[in-house]
Each structure stands twice: as structure tokens, then as C-alpha cells.
A = this chain, B = another copy of it.
Amino acid sequence: MAHTSYTNCIGTFVFDDKKLVEEKLSGKKEILTNSAKMTAETPPFYVLEALAQPKYLALMREATILITKRKVAESLRPEYLVVQAVSNVDEIDKVANNLAKRLREWYELYNPEFSKSIEAHEKFAELIQQKTRKELLAELGMTEAESMGAEIPAEDMKPIMELAKQMSELYALRARHAEYIETTMTRLLPNVTAMCGSMIGAKLLAVAGSLEKLALFPASTIQLLGAEKALFRHIKTGAKPPKFGIIINHPIVARTKPADKGKAARMLADKISIAAKIDFFKGEFKGDALRKEVEEKFR
């Protein structure tokens, strides 16, 4: 039997020599992998004729749904996983901050002086698990009798310590995720990562949506990624235009003196744009050289 196939926007159809849609349609695999080309001899109206039969219509519906599902599944770009990880790290930061405030309020009933003496939440959660109140107070040159902390029985301290442990685990998870972002960014976007580090790079990627979009943006767009609110406020109300978005946190911009920050951001965005294009079109690694160029200019 001779076969022909027909491809249109809804999919690829295989016809037998009587110009009827083949029963084989139900062998789903075959539709999906069919690579036959549409030929001039299979005009569309044969398809419509065949689809008038309910049996084939149902088969085709099923087949096109499957094709669509496969296309959805295949549409996942690898960099999208990094974008997810970055949002997650941001969320963990927020979450850890909220839990830390609760932990401190609770723990301060027991040992207020130590809590006030240390600002970093992570270190705080760690230390109160490792050392006794007496040891922690001794470091501040105090005794337990001089503390305003109350005596709390062990069974009431337990939930506080469990919360501290959970906090430490949350921070450890954050560290592992940051490492994952670092590794993956270095693999997928080596040049962008060399230019601006994995976190800033991943955030640019997240706002852009995909590496393709990031690569095709002009440098001026990259400069303002993450400053959309200020940009639209400028367009709508004529307020001062923003000079930088996410890249404000880049060490080069951060350490430049205020008057030059805008200039630094412009040059940085320029080079990031080049780096993104190299990454997208799989060019040779040039990230370090690009970064050095900007660094030398703004020392």
C-alpha cells in the first residue's frame, strides 16, 4: 500500500492509497514520529472528507491532543529550571527572615542579651544550638544572674530549639540551591555568569524569560531589566528615568561612585548583552575578557 501524509497546523496525517485516513492513526507513536513530507498529490480536501467520518475525527482529536502535549513537554528550556531555583532562593530568604523574627522573639524570653548582640539570623540560629546560655552570656562578659532572661524549663525550650534547627536546615538548603544555580549557570550561560555572577545572571534570565530573549534584547533593555516599575513611571508621569535594574547589585556598579553609576551600568549592560549573545549562539568563551574591560574602566 502506498502512503501519503499531510501536515497542517493541527498535525501530520497519514493516508492510504484510497485517500482515507489510515487506521494506523491509532498507533499513536507513528503519527508522532512520522517524518513523511506533504506532497502535492494530497490536497487538503481529502482530509476534510475523511474527517467527516466520526471515527476518524475522534482518532484525530486524540492524536492532535497527544502531539500538543508532547510539544508542551518539549518546550521546557533548560534555563527555565535555573529561573525556578532563583525564585525559590528568593522565597527561602523571605521565609527564613520571617521565621528568624519569630525565633528571636521566642528565644529572647530566655536570653535577650545574646539575641540583641548578634544581627545575622543564620549565625544566631546556629550559635544558640551549639552553646548554653551561660557560655553565650560569658562571651558578652555577663553572668546568668545579670541577664534579663527568664528561667525556662527544658520541655519549654525544646520547641524553641527545634525551630532553630529547622532554620539552620533552611539556610543549608538555600546554600545548596545557590550552589546548584552556580553550577547550572556556569554550564548554560558561561559568559553571562563570568560577567556578573550566577545570582545576578540568573535574575536577569528570570526577568527576560529565556536565554533567547536575553540574547536578543538590546543592551539598554538589559541595563533596565528589573526596573520596569520605575521605567513605566518615567514614561507615564515623566519622573526621572531609572539608570539600572538588577545590575545595580553588580560589584562593579555597586562600588562605583554615585555620579558614575549610570555610566558603569551602561557599559556593563553592553558587555552582558554581548556575553548573552555568545552564550545563546554557543560562541567561544570570552566572559572573563569582557568583564576585565569594564573593570579596568571603573576601578
Contact = CB atoms under 8 A, between A and B. Distances in A.
A84 B98 contact: no
A94 B98 contact: yes
B88 A106 contact: yes
Nearest to A158: B180
A159 B146 contact: no
Given A156-B81, A176-B162, A99 B95 contact: yes
A20 interface: no
- The DSSP consensus for interface residues of chain A is helix
Contacts of A176: 159, 162
Number of identical protomers: 2
Contacts of A138: none
A105 B84 contact: yes
Interface in A80-97: 80-81, 84-85, 87-88, 91-92, 94-95
Given A88-B102, A95-B99, A163-B173, A73 B158 contact: no
7 contacts: A28-B145, A69-B147, A80-B109, A87-B102, A87-B105, A162-B176, A163-B177
B159 A180 contact: yes
A151 B81 CA distance: 12
A38 interface: no
A72 interface: yes
Contacts of A151: 73
B98 A147 contact: no
A147 B95 CA distance: 32
A3 to B, nearest CB: 23
Contacts of A166: 169-170, 173
Nearest to A28: B145
A74 interface: yes
B163 A88 contact: yes
